[in-house]
Amino acid sequence: MGTTAMKTTCLPAIIRIFVVVLLATGVSASSAARGLGIKAGEGRLHPSLDLDLVYDTNPSYASEDVFSDLVLRIRPGIALSFPSEVVEFELEGKVGYDYFFGIDKKNNLSSVAGEADMRLGFNPKGQVSFFIEDTFSRSSDPRYGAVSGRFDRTNNEAKAHLQIKPGGGALMFDLAYGFFIDWFDDSGSNSTALSNYGHRAYFSGKWKFLPKTAVTVDFDADIRRYPNSYTGGAKNSDVNAIRATVGMLGQISPSIAITIKAGYGDTLLPSDNTGSDYRSAIGQAEMTFKSGTTFIQFGYSRNFQPVVMFSYFGQDRVYARLRQQIAGKFTLALDASYDYLAYGDDVTGDQQDGRTDHFVSGGLSFDYHIIDWIEVGLAYDIQARISGWQQVTAPGGSQDVDYNKHMFTLHIGVDY
């Protein structure tokens, strides 16, 4: 069977599944609006349910032996908020199950998935505030990995955040420390060697010299470690990265805002490391137009990220977003991005240098809001990675690089 179409004999089953989901739930993924919720003391509780029925042409992110499948994504969730000038609390999370029907090929891709964000703030409106924050997710997307393929993993970052706003808010300083883990499930293919943990330090300073314009200085440091070895004993290179930028955030007209940042990034790799170092200018230029029911944003960013087997990759990214509300009931959304990724030398030392990838991502969705907190919609998404290398020779075996996938989604969601 081809990678973009199912066998004809599967079509009646797919139609029946779509009908069952529509009749049984009447609800969708990615709600854009929220209901009044349920009063909980001084706060509000918002229960939600997202359902996606997805036809995915490449659910395993494979380069070879590609198969298609139908996926039912179920995401019940809650959002809880207790606003206060003394202690405020916010929690939003969704956890559920991705069920793969195995229509084209029987597989074991079904898994638990979800995400959650928590924020506890002390004196949040005062001149000195302290926050405890946590971000959690379960994912399998290899979007910015060195290899293709589906690797289920758990990602979490816990952060302590101090904010100081002297002078009535014209100045604002943020200082934060975070501990993160990116832990891969054991799939029997050296996937645990991709696991990493680390420490991050953040600093941001803003001076609002006009009511809607500010100068900003940002710095972050990333100390990343890979504790597990590949089969045969080889390990990924640890990275101690720093980034620093200075820029301006400004509202240049009632409907147009700009962000301009420029600075320097460095992986700080030791001189005896097999991978080359990244020392380069980094930055961002972005323009946002917002008028009435129209939102348009486009921009360019240059940065780098640590990555397994190559220590890091440099990333040049161009992106655009559109959100348009129509007649108060419909929402049209369009997202598109292109990434040029330039890798360091491979840490195995047995391959040619100079790997570069092209990564294209895009999405189009159209949603109908039955009422404020119920919507139904259709969406199309694409991901594609094209590399100068067809494979990388990782310790333990060769790994595919290129892949592409298309996803057609019926989503139904409630956020009360």
Task: Catalogue all structural domains in the chain, each as residue range(s) with its CATH number.
Answer: 8-415 (2.40.160)
pTM above 0.95, yes or no: no
Asked if the model's pLDDT at residue 93 lies above 70, the reply is yes
C-alpha distances (whole Å) from 158 to each of 136, 200, 366, 375 are 9, 10, 35, 33
- Confidence class for position 350, pLDDT limits 50, 70, 90: low
Which range is least confidently modeled, 4-18, 321-335, 378-392?
A: 4-18
Measured CA distances, 225 to 104, 177, 229, 268 (Å):
39, 16, 12, 14
Using left for φ > 0, alpha for ψ between -120 and 50, and beta otherwise, residue 311 falls in left
Question: What single DSSP character describes residue 277?
Answer: P
> In the prediction, which pLDDT does 351 show?
55
Phi, psi values for residue 234, rounded to 5°? -70, 150
Query: What residues does 304 pair with on adjacent strands?
Result: 314
Beta-bridge partner residues of 63 = none
Q: pLDDT-derived band of residue 42, with 50, 70 and 90 as boundaries?
A: confident
- Cα–Cα distance between 321 and 306 in angstroms, integer? 26
Q: Return the higher-pLDDT residue of 348 and 340.
A: 340
Higher-pLDDT residue of 232 and 338 is 338
Q: Which alpha helices (H) appear in 26-173, and where do they start and end?
A: none
